[in-house]
Structure 1
Amino acid sequence: MKFLAITVSGFEDICQKELKEFGAKKTNIKTGCVIFELNKSKIVSLIDLGQSFSKIIEIWHTDKFTSLSSFRTIKNIRINIKPTKTFLVRCQKIESKYSSHEIEACVGENIIKNLTKTGFKPKVSTLNPDIHVFTYVTKSEFFLGQDLTIRDLSKRKYRVFVHPASFRGHIAYCLLRFSGFKPGKRLLDPNCRDGIIPIEAALFSKGKSKKSTIEATDPFIKNILIAKKNAKIANVKINFSKQDFDWLETHYESNYFDFIVTALPSPTKYNQKRIKESYKTLFESVSEILKQNGKVAILVRKPELLKQQTKNRFKLIEERNIYVGKERFVALLAKKI
């Protein structure tokens, strides 16, 4: 059967890699999503354990998209909604001039027209529908199907205590895999906030034959406390400690870590000098505690000042744009040389 995994725009290849690890076949990357084939018996396991996506959709129909009239093709397809069942349409769009409400209304109208031809008029339920219909719309095509996840899987259940500058679980996981991290390695997040990156690393490593060492520090004790609580809810083991960037090389042995994965604040016109100094301090410490050829993966909104720090003892391997809604982030990957 064909399915659609909705992921982070810019990290589609990471999602594709994870899907293949779960046995997916004939994967095809699209904007912000991956089409794949998988035995339906394995879908439950994928939804329970997968980390790189927010939703899994069973595809009913896909077609080119130019305007709302493109949804008229829905009238001629087979739709799996029985007379006794209610339904609700939801959508997610990328680079579309139409609002979600317009798309949902148009799709719902065409589904009703389709099923009315078969002899019954389906009922819409906004509170407790039997069938959750989902439409994913890009600039040039749309995908229609049944939402098998219903809730947004990127909103992790363990993340009860949230840092305002943090981000969702599938972004943290994709950044982690972008770094090349594998179970059995040593990883540090030196700016862990609510613990999202180290927790995703611990969940990824859980049950693997090789044991990972996952460390998380933060300059603020408040962040360490909430990160510890989230890790406890997630039932993972992580070593947390409050550390300023300039104390990392004192706290850890030289050449200790294989990977440094984190997200950092971006400079503004009010704090540029302070942020630049913090970047410099962090990379001075990282250059001591990271192994030779060790990797650093960082997510940031404005990468210019950060890239300056990679020129000394680091080689910039990759830079890619990541989009969360309309917001652009930049993921940087560097290697210690």
Structure 2
Amino acid sequence: MKLIAKTFHGLEGVLAEELEGIGAKEVKAVNRAVEFEGDKEILYKANLQLRTAIRILLPIHHFTAKNDQELYDEVKKFDWSTIMSVHETLAIDPVVFSEIFTHSQYVALKMKDAIVDQFREKEGKRPSVDVENPSIRLVIHLAKEKATISLDSSGDSLHKRGYRTGHHKAPLNEVLAAGMVMLSGWDKKMPLIDPMCGSGTILMEAVMLAKNYPPGLHKKSFGFMGWKDYDKKLWNKVVDEAKEKITHPRLRIFGSDANIKAIDVARESALQFRFNRDISFSVTSFERLEPVYPKGMIIMNPLRRTFDERQRHC
């Protein structure tokens, strides 16, 4: 089946390499995404193991629409009973780049109307919408007149690894942090330091990369778990195989920050994933930091200081 992995601009090449590494075929980098082919096992692996993917989509319906009525009619042509039942809930995420359709939420509304009207006409009942925790999450991508509807296999964005506690606002997305580490050329044996580590996102991603630790291992649910063809046995196999590949190398990873609260949050995150022995934290300003080793690598987000200063003045 043909699949799409979404990512940030600039990370398409890294994501393509990741996909090839898990066995995906016909891998092709496009704008902010990578198209690929794979079976159900590859779909599961992509959600569990990819570090630079935001979500994995399965396109199910392509069409063109020049106005809202054509949009409604084309959506209604698809047999939605093959995807969900009337007793399940749905959510629709619109991505619109069109001079014809200028309001993305209106596109989502017309699509929703077409789906629920089809169920009502066939079964006398309609499925409900649940934007927070739907059984089925759909994405409609509209570029000018061309539309693609996809099943979202990820559910919540894949950047949500599970180590952020919510006590500290971090300006750096986990996917971006992972991409920074992977693009840096860090060889995992070299000492690594983030002298403005904040809540430790870059360092957490570095440890997971060094250990071959699946970034989705702590994610409790994925969108594909609500699909009719969900194979729990296969999913458990994919998870078990990924766990067996986790390694425990000796790491020299350090994080420092002048903000003691940020360091407390970083330590808590590391403890949650049992990485507390892999990362050494200290409360030290960038100007007073003295390197532990004569040679190593620095990866940092210098914009974090600006972010913290803005927060203090808000």
TM normalised by structure 1 equals: 0.67
Aligned-residue Cα RMSD (Å) equals 3.1
Identity %: 23
Does 2:256 correspond to 1:253?
no
Give the match for residue 40 of structure 1.
Answer: 40
Following superposition of structure 1 onto structure 2, how do residues 287-302 of structure 1 map, counting pairs within 5 Å? none
Cα 1:36–1:175 change in 2 (3 A) is: same
Cα 1:241–1:42 change in 2 (3 A) is: same
Greater strand share, structure number: 1
Cα 1:85–1:203 change in 2 (3 A) is: same
Give the match for residue 208 of structure 2.
Answer: 203
**Structure 2 residue runs without a partner (length 5+):** 212-245, 310-314
Following superposition of structure 1 onto structure 2, how do residues 1-337 of structure 1 map, counting pairs within 5 Å? 1-63=1-63, 68=68, 71=71, 72-79=73-80, 80-93=82-95, 95=97, 98-112=102-116, 119-120=122-123, 123-127=126-130, 129-137=134-142, 141-206=146-211, 207-208=246-247, 211-236=250-275, 237-248=278-289, 250-254=290-294, 256-257=295-296, 259-265=297-303
CA deviation map 1:68-124 (0-9, x unaligned): 56745434445433544434232142655633321211222343566678x446723
Which amino acid in 2 is paired with 1:218? D
Cα 1:242–1:41 change in 2 (3 A) is: same
Shift of 1:195: 0.5
CA contact (8 A) 1:85 1:131 kept: no
User: Which of 1 and 2 has higher RCO (CA within 8 Å, sep 6+)?
Assistant: 2
Which amino acid in 2 is paired with 1:239? S
Which amino acid in 1 is paired with 2:165? V
CA contact (8 A) 2:46 2:56 kept: no
Secondary structure in structure 2 of the residue aligned to 1:164: coil
User: 2: CA distance between counterparts of 1:170 and 1:122?
Assistant: 40
CA contact (8 A) 1:83 1:121 kept: no
**Structure 1 residue runs without a partner (length 5+):** 272-337
Corresponding residue pairs, total: 265
User: 1: CA distance between counterparts of 2:144 and 2:180?
Assistant: 25
Which amino acid in 2 is paired with 1:252? V
Greater helix share, structure number: 2
Is 98-107 or 64-73 further displaced after alignment? Answer: 64-73
